[in-house]
Structure 1
Amino acid sequence: MNTTTEDTDDRARRSIGARRNPASQEAILDAAEAVLEESGIGGFSIEAVARRARAGKPTIYRWWPNRTLLMLDVYRRFKNARGFPDTGSVRGDLIALLQNHLLGFWKDSLCGTVYRAIIVEAQNDPDAAKALYAYQEERKKATEVIIERAKARGEVAKDVDGRLIIDMVVSFAWHQLLINRLDEAMGSIEGVVDGVLMGCAGYKR
């Protein structure tokens, strides 16, 4: 079988971007972050990111089928760079979680706007909803270390459902994000944490 130069070039074009290249991925995410900073959610699109990154739209669409998934990966980079608090007490840890990793984090950066947009768009996009759910499960599972440390210190009973505690704290934060009451919610953090912990069997303050 004879292979023409055109056939070879066509196969090469189809193979480009089939597997994510770490350097290219970071360049695209950098470009996506820059577009969000400069143009906001309304001006954010795959096309705008492609222009900024000088990358082909087909490659970006292959890695991120829609703009919501791309925004989620931009957001994930910010979150992954932040370790969970270890204040020495479960109460202190949960207060720090809300102050620094959820409400405060969203309030003081573009990330709150980005995450709110992701949640909204996930309501009408099954793929985005699936990706958001998977991300949330991953984050909540990692955050459970706060409750595991509390169990080891004897602050809460061994049979306390750590995932449920984290879910209640995160749900409060989500609600405040969606109704855009982050500033006001900062003053309620200690009360929310105390209320959640009072329901934990064996919690010792």
Structure 2
Amino acid sequence: MSELAPDDIDDRRRSIGARRNPETEQAILEAAEAIVAEEGIAGFSIEAVAKRARAGKPTIYKWWPGKTALLLDVYHRHKPASVHTDTGSVEGDIFAFLTGVFAHWGDTGAGQVFRFVIAEAQRDETAAASLADYSAERRIQSGAIFQRGIVRGELAEDIDVGLCADMLAGFIWQRLLTGRIERDPVQLRQVARQMVRGLLASPSGGEVGA
């Protein structure tokens, strides 16, 4: 099955959003956001959101299959645009992505939300489906980093951009789940360099791509 292009995702979201009452949707998202900020994950539930937003639980479940899906929407609302900055090079884009994601996770509490989402997905099928849908969309966005590299002639035309995106996601998820979201720019630039240039020595013995 072919992946959705970013424009297709936006069209799908607009189609879904068209069936929602914008004011009610906004109230639900703001209530969910406030509960996470004030009470943390432990105090978050569909019941609490419904009460605070003055919305019916059936309405929330109609638009979000469970609290994980709602949490992911809250999480994504505040993800900085700089995460997907086009810097003009693949290494620069990866460095900007790593720096932006780790700052978002560390400075806003979003990291704890996403850790909870991952944990819920291990035990609940609905949560797993919500995370899978979210990850599929993010895979396309991250894959654009490498697609731009192909267009610019930086990367080989036969690389699998989806696999590259998986490798990038694997790195940040592993760091999140092991409590290692340090933002040392020297280290993050090295990660970007190794992802792009590889680990093999050049024939002359120097650094590949130097």
TM-score, normalization by structure 2: 0.79
TM-score, normalization by structure 1: 0.81
Partner of 2:169: 170
C-alpha contact 2:102 2:183 (8 A) present in aligned 1: no
**Is 1:189–2:188 an aligned residue pair?**
yes
Q: Which moved more, 1:180-189 or 1:152-161?
A: 180-189
Q: Which amino acid aligns with 2:50?
A: A
Structure 1 segment 72-87 matched on structure 2, within 5 A: 72-79=72-79, 82=81, 84-87=84-87
Partner of 1:66: 66
Q: Which amino acid aligns with 1:78?
A: H
C-alpha contact 1:95 1:189 (8 A) present in aligned 2: yes
Partner of 1:11: none
Partner of 1:112: 111
Partner of 2:4: none
Unaligned runs of 5+ in 1: 1-18
Partner of 1:140: 139
The CA deviation string for residues 82-122 of structure 1, in whole angstroms up to 9 with x for no partner, is 2511111110010001101x222111112111111111101
Q: Which amino acid aligns with 1:192?
A: V
**Is 1:90–2:90 an aligned residue pair?**
yes
Partner of 2:47: 47
The CA deviation string for residues 140-198 of structure 1, in whole angstroms up to 9 with x for no partner, is 11222211221122111111211222211111100111112212676531222222112
From the superposition, tell whether residues 68 and 176 of structure 1 become closer, same or farther in structure 2 (CA, over 3 Å).
same
The CA deviation string for residues 25-46 of structure 1, in whole angstroms up to 9 with x for no partner, is 1110011000000000011111
Structure 1 segment 119-134 matched on structure 2, within 5 A: 119-134=118-133
Partner of 2:38: 38
CA distance in 2, matches of 1:65, 1:159: 38
What is the SS of the residue equivalent to 2:108? coil
Partner of 2:197: 198
C-alpha contact 1:156 1:200 (8 A) present in aligned 2: no
Q: Which amino acid aligns with 1:97?
A: F
Partner of 1:5: none
What is the SS of the residue equivalent to 1:159? coil
Task: Count residues in correspondence.
Answer: 184
Aligned-residue CA RMSD (Å) = 2.2
Unaligned runs of 5+ in 2: 1-18, 201-207
C-alpha contact 1:155 1:204 (8 A) present in aligned 2: no
CA distance in 2, matches of 1:120, 1:33: 19
What is the SS of the residue equivalent to 1:183? coil
Partner of 1:103: 102
CA distance in 2, matches of 1:132, 1:20: 22
CA distance in 1, matches of 2:199, 2:77: 33
C-alpha contact 1:176 1:185 (8 A) present in aligned 2: no
